[in-house]
Every structure is written in C-alpha cells, then in structure tokens.
Amino acid sequence: MKGAYVHIPFCEHICYYCDFNKVFIEKQPVDDYLNALEKEIIEGLSENDSRIETIFIGGGTPTALDNKQFHKLLQIIERHLVASELKEYTIEANPENLNETKLKLMRSYGVTRLSLGVQAFQNDLLKEIGRPHSRTDVFDIFQKARQAGFNNISIDLMFGLPNQTEKMLKESIDIAMTLQPEHISIYSLQVEPKTIFYNRMKKGKLHLPGQDIEAEMFELVISELEKNGYTHYEISNFAKNGFESRHNLLYWNNEQYFGFGAGSHGYVKDNRVVNAGPIKNYIKLVEDTGRAQTAAHPVTRKEKIEEELFLGLRKLSGVQKKRFYEKFQCQIEDLYSEEIKRLVEQGLLYEDEDKIALTRQGVFLGNDVFEAFLA
C-alpha cells in the first residue's frame, strides 16, 4: 500500500459547486466521528500492508475543525499512519478557517504540504460561487504559512465560472504568480447534481461561459503558467520542478491506496471500495464492525488495463510501455493498435518507442481519447 486518503466531511459553508460528501459542522458529532475514524484506520492497517508513503487529508474542510479537534485529528494520524516511509503529507485548508495555531500544529506533526482552496481572487466572484473568504484572507494566510515554515504550498483555482471572463481569469493567475506557490491545480467548473449550481442551471439562472470561451480559458491557463516556470504534468495540475503531488500521482499511476472516513473511496487488495457516506451511518458501522465499507468491486484484469490507460494518460508524460508490460505481461500495441493509430492520425495522441501520451490538442479533448480505451 502506498497512500492513505483521510476524509473530513465537515464544512462551515457549502460551496455552490461542491458535490463532495460534506455536511455543515454545526451540531455534528465531530468527536464521535474522529473516534470512529481512528478505529477504522486501526482495523484497516491490521488487515493490509501499511507502508504508507503519502497521506492526504481532504474534505469537506479539515480546517473547519476547531483547534482542539484538529489537534486530535493530527494525533490520530501520527499514531497510526506516519512512518519512516512517509514522503509527503498534505492537508487541504480554506483561507477563512486556517489560523496560526493550526499551522503550527501541522508543522509540529510533520505535515509537509498545504493545499489551499482559493478558486479565484475577485471578491465578487468568490461570493457568487459561495466562497466565504476574500482576496485579503488568501494573502494573509499564505504569508503566515510561509512564516510557519511551509515551503510546499499548492493553491486551487477554477475557470468557466458564472460570469467569469478571460480577463478575470488572467488577473487571478497574475495575482497567484505574486504568491509563487510551488503547485497549482486549476479545474474547469463541472455542474454536478445535488449542488446549488445544478438547481440554478435547471431554472435557467446559471450564466456560464460557452465551450469555446472555456477552451480559450484553458489555453490561457496553460500558456501563462508555463511562461511562469510551471510544468504542466497532469491535465489540471502544474508544478515547479520537484513539487508534483506525490499522492495524486498514486491515483494517476493506478497504485493502491487506503480511503478512510465517511464517503471515502479506496483501492485495496485489487478492490475498489466505498465507505458509508452519511455521518451517523459511518460512525455506527465502524462502532459495530470496525469497518466502514458498504461496497467493494473486485477489479478485473481487463478493468486494470483500461484504468492504467485512462488514468495514466492524464499525465503529460503519458503511459510508459515498459512499465505497462511489467504490470500486465503484454504490449499496449497488441491490445490497442487500431485505437492508437487512429488517435495518432487525429493528432490527439503521440507515440514513440517508449510511451504513448496526449498531444497538446489531446489535452483539450482528453475524454475522447480516454473513451477509445474503454470497452
């Protein structure tokens, strides 16, 4: 086992686009949840290879916990997951509920990487997407994180937002460049069911940029970040040299990992597993059984091969033919020669003797490429 994802499903505010497993933190049984989380981690580690190389605590909003609860969470992770093999330890945070006490706690417990949910730098746009922080909050907490000793900070940005223009996106990128984070994740808005934006869209009240403008925005993102020294190493991710997300690379390299917490997903012993989502259901299931899984899908060899390709091709370095052969004892070309030839001719895929990878055009039409490798 290479990684562990830990889900904290509590938020002080619900963003209008978010479809992750989350609840308002007020009046929630946070301490009972943390106790159940520890029990689930202990049980999971006792049954599996537990040499953890990366930890990622996400949500929800992990920093929505108060200082005492946050300290308890870090103690749990320290007791059971932090080991000599650990190479990266990331915690997601929102600018409005991260403070100096939590920053010092993270550093004292060995957190190496901070992921800040910024999304945009225009205060009006932040309000429009349901974010409670301001541009000033971002600058303030970023400076405090540097002062606390964090030298690996990632920020999230978004494009294709309601009423967002290319000029606004360029401004957000320019402002981000003044901060000089080591990593930037930038995502196009996806309107998902059971979100506020989805309900607005059904009523015709969500005004989004068209697909052409969204494509131009993505082109702007790539050119601006590459111009500023960031390597485009995955469709939505850019990093300074050596600061690629090790944990997320586990996903794209199709490695196995634990998923702990309500609603989390894992890949354990060749099974895709899903935990109970509702908080009370999760707590009761762990208290009764020590486990939280409500579904497990054994991944067939055919599915592993498909996943190896559509996950691996998200990386700009592509899928390495030698590694593919070592994992599956067959050549990619033996399975997908016609698909590869067609995609190369369409200008969406690049192939040489070592790898297959997306072209620049293929990055913009990634889903079309991925579908070619699915039955």
Spatial contact of 55 and 4, defined as CB atoms under 8 Å apart = yes
pLDDT (mean) for 241-254: 97
Structure pTM?
0.96
Per-residue pLDDT reduced to its tens digit, 191-232: 999 899 999 999 999 999 989 999 999 999 999 999 999 999
Rounded distance between C-alpha atoms, residue 7 and residue 5, angstroms: 7
Rounded distance between C-alpha atoms, residue 94 and residue 60, angstroms: 10
**Measured distance between the N- and C-terminal CA atoms of the chain, rounded to whole angstroms:** 28
- Placement of tokens 């196009």 in the chain: 188
Spatial contact of 244 and 227, defined as CB atoms under 8 Å apart = no
pLDDT at residue 48, rounded to an integer = 76
CATH architecture of 301-372: Orthogonal Bundle (1.10)
Closest CA to 292 of 3, 9, 25: 9
pLDDT (mean) for 9-28: 92
Binning pLDDT at 50, 70 and 90, where does residue 21 land? Answer: confident
DSSP label at residue 315 = B
With a pLDDT cut of 70, the percent of the chain lying above it is 99
Helix (H) or strand (E) holding 248: helix 246-252
pLDDT at residue 116, rounded to an integer = 98
Q: How many CA atoms lie within 13 A of 22 on its CB side?
A: 21
Residue extent(s) of CATH 3.20.20.70 domains in the chain: 3-252
pLDDT (mean) for 321-334: 96
Could you tell me the two tokens for 274? Answer: 């899903």
Could you tell me the two tokens for 280? Answer: 């009370």
- Placement of tokens 């998902």 in the chain: 192
pLDDT at residue 333, rounded to an integer = 93
Per-residue pLDDT reduced to its tens digit, 142-156: 999 999 999 999 999
Rounded distance between C-alpha atoms, residue 182 and residue 168, angstroms: 22
Range 3-252 has CATH code 3.30.365.10: no
pLDDT at residue 375, rounded to an integer = 66
pLDDT of residue 186 exceeding 90: yes
pLDDT of residue 1 exceeding 90: no
Residue extent(s) of CATH 1.10.10.920 domains in the chain: 301-372
pLDDT of residue 287 exceeding 70: yes
pLDDT (mean) for 234-246: 98
Backbone φ and ψ for 349, nearest 5 degrees, come out as -130, 145
Q: How many CA atoms lie within 13 A of 153 on its CB side?
A: 28
Per-residue pLDDT reduced to its tens digit, 62-88: 999 999 999 999 999 999 999 889 999
